[in-house]
Amino acid sequence: MNAAARTFRRSRKAAKPASKPHAALLARAIQAHQAGDLDGAERLYNEVLEMHVAQPDALHFLGVLCHQRGRSDEAVSLIGSALKITPRHPDAHNNLGNIHKECGRLAEAEACYRRALECGPGHYNALSNLAVVLEAQERLDDAFDAYTRLLQQAPAYAHGHYRLGLFLRNHAQNEEHLEQSAECFREAFRCDERNVRALEGVGIALYMLGRHDAAAEVYRDWLVREPDNPVPRHMLASCGATEAPPRAADDYVRDVFDGFADSFDEQLLNNLGYRAPEVLMAFLDEVAPTAPASADVLDAGCGTGLCAPLLRERARHLVGVDLSGGMVDKARARGGYDALEVAELTAWLDAHHGAFDLVVSADTLVYFGELGPVLGAAAGALRPDGWLGFTLEAIEGDEDRSELSSSGRYRHSRAYVERVLTAAGFDAVTIRSDTLRREAGKPVLGWVVRARRASTPVAG
């Protein structure tokens, strides 16, 4: 669910009471929308508007729904029409800002949030969103001031403490910032014990401070609270307290990314300087040119579809697969794919032998410690002389190894990647180092890898 939809669910105060002939119909539309019945809700909103073409709440909420379905231009028009009728409706301004933000129009989003605050000075969702877009524009002092005002205004707002914790960790310049980040996460959990993701934030901050035992204790306490939760189990291994698994468990990956789907693009692109898709595509352009668009292409671990615009221009058929249904929903709304599937990657590749000319995987294999099975499956899914491109987090040095890091992602050495690719049946292996994103204000070194499926199988 995107930010506009989350705000819709939290606050549905009408701009002004609907008149009796269509009040019940509007209530049914809202109920269907809340329940996730988007087809039914859209039909009912349109029925309201057939009865009363200028009903502002139907225009507003239909706009939110259209954005959820990937029709963001239509959404902007509908909410704009609602605001012409009720120009001082802070929720509508806030939701319009969310749509602009999620479409990458940060200046327009900022203006909407400021207008929402003019209309409703106590609208802390708008203030929180304003802080986010200021951070995304790298106006860090202004963003910090906005987060500070937010928590002065709403000191028990758990998500506000959580967001400030992320801000401090993302842009940490010293240990004090990481200490403050950990305390923000602790406060987020004190304010709302359902916000268990804050415990993960505490653990990561402690690990980054070198306090490994304290981080492990956080995860052990979390496991006591939620013994079936895969996240603390995986994170306990990530800080060295238990043996690292050969790859992240499916339920861990699914849980993390289903919960992260709404803010994934915002965090990676705007706050962490994520650039893996662009770097990887430029690397592949050297051997697999864009034109003509004649390749069958797989986006392996497609996430929210950030690679789709870059892959679409070279693909006659573009398929995306991801383990997280929430991420696939976002990719579907973004568009560009001919097919999208929710599935575990290795098994899916094994089931599609010889189907692709190009397989691309941006920051998905960081959840695999042992790369042999998934790279072998990728080789099987490629046609002879087809290309594979992917990114990893890097271990520097000459050793042949992989390791699970405190972030919950795996890192690999160059020697390990070269050996496993050769064993899987690839040749023309090329590996470059690059910075693919930031973490705690510092660049994270990554490998950008391409390899060609050998035209003849590897013996043995």
Model confidence at 269: pLDDT above 90:
no
Cβ atoms 383, 453 nearer than 8 A? yes
Find the range with the poorest average confidence among 55-69, 269-283, 395-409, 432-446.
269-283
pLDDT digits (tens, 9 = 90+) for 210-255: 898 999 999 999 999 899 999 999 999 998 889 999 999 999 999 8
Choose between 171 and 389: higher pLDDT.
Answer: 389
Cβ atoms 358, 387 nearer than 8 A? yes
What is the reported pLDDT for 148? 95
Q: Which of 73, 114, 68, 93 is nearest to 11 (CA)?
A: 93
User: What value does the mean pLDDT take over residues 452-460?
Assistant: 66
Q: Say how far apart CA 254 and CA 230 lie, in whole Å.
A: 10
Sorted by where each begins, the domain ranges of the chain are 3-116, 265-453
Report how far apart, in Å, the C-alpha atoms of 298 and of each of 21, 258, 415 are.
51, 21, 26
Model confidence at 142: pLDDT above 90:
yes
Cβ atoms 128, 152 nearer than 8 A? no
Long-range contacts, 23-26 (Cβ 8 Å, 24+): 25/51, 26/55, 26/57, 26/58
Model confidence at 8: pLDDT above 60:
no
What is the reported pLDDT for 403? 96
Confidence tier at 266 by pLDDT (50, 70, 90):
low
What is the reported pLDDT for 273? 62
Q: If you average pLDDT over every residue of the chain, what do you get?
A: 89
The domain made up of 3-116 has a fold known as 1.25.40
User: What value does the mean pLDDT take over residues 167-175?
Assistant: 89
Non-local CB neighbours of 239 within 8 Å, separated by 6+ positions: 203, 207, 212, 215, 216, 219, 406
User: What value does the mean pLDDT take over residues 402-415?
Assistant: 94
CB 271: neighbour CB atoms within 10 A? 21
pLDDT digits (tens, 9 = 90+) for 68-118: 888 999 999 999 999 999 999 999 999 999 999 988 899 999 999 999 999
What is the reported pLDDT for 407? 85
Model confidence at 9: pLDDT above 90:
no
pLDDT > 70 in the chain, percent: 90
Region class of 115: left (phi > 0), else alpha (psi between -120 and 50), else beta: alpha
- Collapsed DSSP state (helix, strand, coil) of residue 164: helix
Please check whether the domain covering 265-453 is classified as CATH 3.40.50.360.
Answer: no
Asked whether the domain spanning 265-453 has the same topology as the one spanning 3-116, the reply is: no
What is the reported pLDDT for 460? 36
Q: Say how far apart CA 263 and CA 102 lie, in whole Å.
A: 9
Model confidence at 263: pLDDT above 80:
no
Q: Say how far apart CA 19 and CA 64 lie, in whole Å.
A: 22
What is the reported pLDDT for 138? 86
pLDDT > 90 in the chain, percent: 70
pLDDT digits (tens, 9 = 90+) for 328-337: 988 888 889 9
Residue 298: enclosing H or E segment and its boundaries?
A: strand 295-300
Q: Which amino acid is at 56?
A: P
Model confidence at 7: pLDDT above 80:
no
CB 407: neighbour CB atoms within 10 A? 16
Confidence tier at 271 by pLDDT (50, 70, 90):
very low
What is the reported pLDDT for 197? 84
User: What value does the mean pLDDT take over residues 296-323?
Assistant: 93
> 355, exposed or middle or buried, with CB in 10 Å at 0-12, 13-18, 19+?
middle
What is the reported pLDDT for 180? 96
Q: Which amino acid is at 226?
A: E
Q: Say how far apart CA 122 and CA 153 lie, in whole Å.
A: 7
Confidence tier at 258 by pLDDT (50, 70, 90):
confident
Confidence tier at 1 by pLDDT (50, 70, 90):
very low
What is the reported pLDDT for 274? 74
User: What value does the mean pLDDT take over residues 375-383?
Assistant: 97
What is the reported pLDDT for 422? 97
Non-local CB neighbours of 226 within 8 Å, separated by 6+ positions: 196, 232
